Amino acid sequence: MDSRFPPDLRAGVRDTLPLLLGIVPFALVAGVAGVEAGLTPLQTAGLSVVVFAGASQLAAIELLGQDAALGVVVLTVVVVNLRMLMYSASIAPYFRDLSARVRAGCAYLLTDQAYALALARYASDRDREGTTRRPYYYLGVALTLWVVWQVGTVVGVVFGAAVPDGWRLGFAVPLVFLALLVPAVSDAPSLAAALVAAAVAVAGAGLPFNAGLIVGAVGGVATGIAVDEAGLGAAGEGDDDGIGGDGVDGNDGVDSDDTDADGGGDHDGQSDRAGGR
Amino acid sequence: MATSYGPLSVWAVIVAGGLATFAIRLSFIHLFGRVDEVPGWLERALVYVPAAVLAALVVPDFTPAGATIGALVSPEIVGGAAAVAAAWQTEDVLWTVAAGMAGLHLARFLL
C-alpha cells in the first residue's frame, strides 16, 4: 500500500485481509437477501450504510419479508446489536483523548472484528512497549471492513436480482444465522438459552407481533443466566485486566470476537460466543 | 416472502435501527469517564443474547410442517442439517452457507 498512509493504518488493513474471507460471503448474502425480501436495491444498500451490522441487517430483512410489526423489527435490531455495548465500554479508554467527532466516527465503524483486532493490538502495546497511534490501527481495520461490506452488499444486490428464483438464494439467510448460532452455543448455559428460545419461538410462531421471537429471546437469556447461576456452566472467574483474551483467531472472519469484554482467559477463542457482525 | 411494506415504512426501520445501533456503539465511547463499565447484571445477560436471539430467529424456519416423513426430510431441513454440521466443523460462514445450499439442492433433486 501507499507509504503515505500512517504505518498503523496499513497494519490495520493488512491484519484485516484474512478476515475478509468470512466477511465477503456475509455481505453478499446481505445484498441478495434484501432484494429477495422485496426491498429496493437502494434500501438494501441503505441498510448496510446506515445500520452496518450484518446479523441485525439479516434479522431486519427476514422480519420485513415476513411483514412483522415494524416496532418488532427495530427492537430485534437493537437486541441483536446490544452486545456492542460491551465493545464500546471495553475500547472507550483507548479513544479517550480523541475529539468528539473522531470518537463518533470510530463508534459508527465499531464491529465485532474491528473491536477484537484493535483491542488485541492496543492491549499488546503494554507488553511490547509499543505505541500504536490511535486511532489509526483501528481505522485501518474498521474502514477496510466498511468498504468491503458496502461493495459486497451492492454486488449481492446486483447478483441477487440477476439470479433465477430457482436458486433459492434467500435460503442463505437462515444458513448465516446457523453459522453464527453454532459457535455461540459454547457451553451449558448458552445451550440452554438457545434451546428454550427456540422452543418458545416455535410454539409462538403464529402469534401476532412476533411474540414468539421476543418472548423466546427473553426467556432464553433468562434461562442462560439461571443455568449459569446453578453452576452447571462452570464459567471461569473473569480477571479484570480489561483484555479480552486473544480476541482474534483469524480462521473465521465473522465470529472471531471475544464478547466477554473484560473477562478474558476463560475460553479459548475458538468457541467464542458469536454475535455475528 | 416479499415484504408488503411501502418505502416509507422500510426507510423508517432502516433509520430507526441505524440510530439505535449508533447509540449503542457510541454509548460508552462517549460517556467514558462518567460511566466506565457495563453494569454486571447487564453484562451477564448480554453473554446469552446471541445464542437466544439467533435460535429464536432461525429455528422456526426449520420447523417441519407436520410429522410425516415427507415433512421431516424436506429439502430445507436437509440443507439446515448440512449447514449445522459444517458450522460445527469449520465455524466458517462461507463453508456453512455452501454446505447448506448444496444440501438443499441435492435434496430437492433426490426427494
Residues of A in contact with B38 (CB under 8 A): 85-86, 89, 261
What average pLDDT score do residues A17-41 get?
A: 92
- B45 belongs to a structural domain: no
Q: Which of A82, A178, A268 to probe the B interface (max B CBs under 10 A)?
A: A178
The model carries a pTM of 0.79
* Angle, vertex CA A228, rays to CA A227 and CA A232, nearest 5: 70
User: How many independent structural domains does chain B possess?
Assistant: 1
- B72 assigned to some structural domain: yes
| pLDDT above 90 coverage of chain A, percent | 57
Question: What average pLDDT does the structure give for chain A?
Answer: 82
Give the span between the Cα atoms of A102 and A98, in whole angstroms. Answer: 6
The model's pLDDT over B46-92, given as tens digits with 9 standing for 90+, comes to 889 989 999 999 999 898 877 787 778 899 999 999 999 999 999 88
Contact status of A241 with chain B (Cβ, < 8 Å): no
Residue with cell 407481533: A209
> Which three cell numbers mark A175?
444458513
Classify residue B30: in a domain, yes or no: no
Q: Give the number of A-B residue pairs with CB atoms closer than 8 Å.
A: 311
Q: Is residue A198 a contact partner of residue B55, using CB atoms and an 8 Å limit? A: yes
Looking at the domain assignment, is residue B40 inside a domain? Answer: no
Residue B51 falls inside a structural domain: no
Of A40-49, A84-93, B77-86, which gets the smallest average pLDDT?
Answer: A84-93
pLDDT of residue A111: 95
Which residue range(s) make up the domain with B78? Answer: 57-110
Residue among B11, B60, B93 minimizing CB distance to A176: B93
Question: Does B48 map to a domain?
Answer: no
Q: How many residues does chain B have?
A: 111
Report if residue B89 sits inside a domain.
Answer: yes
**With bands split at pLDDT 50, 70 and 90, how would you rate the model's confidence at A239?**
very low
Does some domain include residue B90?
Answer: yes
The single-letter code of the amino acid at B108 is R
Q: What is the pLDDT of residue A131?
A: 67
**Which of A81, A104, A225 is nearest residue B24 as measured by Cβ atoms?**
A81
pLDDT value at residue A234: 52
Give the mean pLDDT of chain B. 91
CB contact under 8 A, A88 and B33: no
pLDDT tens digits along A110-144: 999 999 899 888 887 766 666 666 789 999 999 99
Domains of chain A, by residue range, sit at 7-182
